[in-house]
Amino acid sequence: MSRALADIESKVRKVRDYRVCFHPEAPRGCSAQIIASHTVQRCGGGLSAIAQQNHVYGCLPNMIQLGRTGGFVELTRIGVHQASTFSGFCSTHDCRLFKPVETQIFSGSAEQVALLTFRSVARELWEKRVRIRSHPLMREALTKGGSDADGQRLFEAMADADELDLVCAEEIKHDLDSILVQQDWSALASIVFWTDRVPPILASALIYPEFDFEGRQLQDVYSDGRLEVIAVNAIASADRKGAIIFSWFKAESAPAQLIESLLSLSESVLPAAIFRFIVEHAENHYVAPEWWSSLASDRRDVVLQHLNSGIPPIRLHGSQWFSNPAQIDFGVGIDRVTMLTTA
């Protein structure tokens, strides 16, 4: 049985070798080489800032693991060069477009926020295109792996969500292309939480928020049509501190309400609320081995439960997961908060 799954796994790897340039002007000006673009900003150290022996932990679900765990996603040890990269830009465009975030310290400028947002969107678009192409292989793996009806239903719900997410990601990318071409950042809003040390979890992701931090529904994420969206980037900065950046389209109300509810929480639970939100909803996040190994095993189980609770259709209601915000110590404080919300 495992040989059949390993065979499908290698076919999935081929599907994931999808190379494209998502620069707004592509294919005009593209170089021949599509490179492995980093999604987590590297200027402040990138994933190396949290790595141990050049490795971090992340979600890299594979057929064999999912077959073994019955669909439960675990954290896997991943090399920093493999983690968080995707082949979504040619070398020329990657270097030129992301220069303001990759060669300058993050200051929270509107341009830097827009570029981090764009890269989160490009990564999401790449991931959804690839995943949809791998759905037939995943179905085959489930059948050959002897998955029960519940497992297959779960997969089909995830596959449907991928289809909806892809349509949204294509539209969002299109809107951001115009913003980048015109270099007019005024349509975007953002909030930056500056942390007093390097965050134990780094991320770059696009999230369609379903509930705010008080459990109120923000939008029906299973409906057809464009979903409202928020990008989150958690990065290390050069001074051994860090930043967590949320960004969204100013015209959208769901992300604004999400942030409003986050800011209504007491300061003492704010870091825990932010990191748990990232763990639950940001697929592309990476965990510091040092922090992970410092957690007692029952605390690690809680983190993994949160990680899996974000997977449709068993997403937990916002107020349920937030019922005990002090459960996990992320070891990070917030130094200050800055917002860019006005034109």
The interface region with Zn ion, picked from 19-27, 41-49, 205-213, 295-303 by CB under 5 A, is: 19-27
Nearer CB in complex with Zn ion: 26/187: 26
60 sits near Zn ion (criterion: CB under 5 A)? no
Cα–Cα distances (Å) from 167 to 127, 159, 249, 276, in that order, read 13, 13, 17, 27
Separation CA 130–CA 323 (nearest Å): 36
The interface region with Zn ion, picked from 7-15, 21-29, 291-299, 335-343 by CB under 5 A, is: 21-29
Site for Zn ion in 154-213 (CB under 5 A): none
Separation CA 241–CA 125 (nearest Å): 30
Separation CA 70–CA 206 (nearest Å): 26
The interface region with Zn ion, picked from 17-25, 215-223, 299-307, 314-322 by CB under 5 A, is: 17-25
Site for Zn ion in 79-108 (CB under 5 A): 90, 93
Nearer CB in complex with Zn ion: 38/285: 38
Q: Rounded to the nearest whole angstrom, what is the least distance from the CB of residue 38 to Zn ion in the complex?
A: 16
26 sits near Zn ion (criterion: CB under 5 A)? yes
Tokens 């669909």 -> residue:
71
Nearer CB in complex with Zn ion: 22/213: 22
119 sits near Zn ion (criterion: CB under 5 A)? no
The interface region with Zn ion, picked from 26-34, 55-63, 129-137, 274-282 by CB under 5 A, is: 26-34
Looking at residue 341, its amino acid is: T
Identify the bridge partners of residue 34 per DSSP, sorted by sequence position. 90
Q: Rounded to the nearest whole angstrom, what is the least distance from the CB of residue 32 to Zn ion in the complex?
A: 10
23 sits near Zn ion (criterion: CB under 5 A)? yes
Q: Rounded to the nearest whole angstrom, what is the least distance from the CB of residue 288 to Zn ion in the complex?
A: 33
Nearer CB in complex with Zn ion: 89/106: 89
Count of residues that interact with Zn ion, criterion CB under 5 A: 6
The interface region with Zn ion, picked from 20-28, 75-83, 178-186, 260-268 by CB under 5 A, is: 20-28
Identify the bridge partners of residue 79 per DSSP, sorted by sequence position. 55
Tokens 């220069």 -> residue:
99
Q: Rounded to the nearest whole angstrom, what is the least distance from the CB of residue 59 to Zn ion in the complex?
A: 28
Q: Rounded to the nearest whole angstrom, what is the least distance from the CB of residue 35 to Zn ion in the complex?
A: 10
The interface region with Zn ion, picked from 16-24, 184-192, 256-264, 281-289 by CB under 5 A, is: 16-24
Cis peptide before 27, with omega less than 30 degrees from 0?
yes
Read off φ and ψ for residue 200, nearest 5 degrees: -75, -10
Cα–Cα distances (Å) from 265 to 174, 197, 269, 272, 318, in that order, read 34, 21, 7, 11, 13
36 sits near Zn ion (criterion: CB under 5 A)? no
Q: Rounded to the nearest whole angstrom, what is the least distance from the CB of residue 29 to Zn ion in the complex?
A: 6
Residue from 15, 30, 110, 302 that binds Zn ion (CB under 5 A)? Answer: 30
Residue from 21, 35, 189, 201 that binds Zn ion (CB under 5 A)? Answer: 21
Q: Rounded to the nearest whole angstrom, what is the least distance from the CB of residue 176 to Zn ion in the complex?
A: 16
Nearer CB in complex with Zn ion: 21/202: 21
- The residue ranges that bind Zn ion (CB under 5 A) are 21, 23, 26, 30, 90, 93
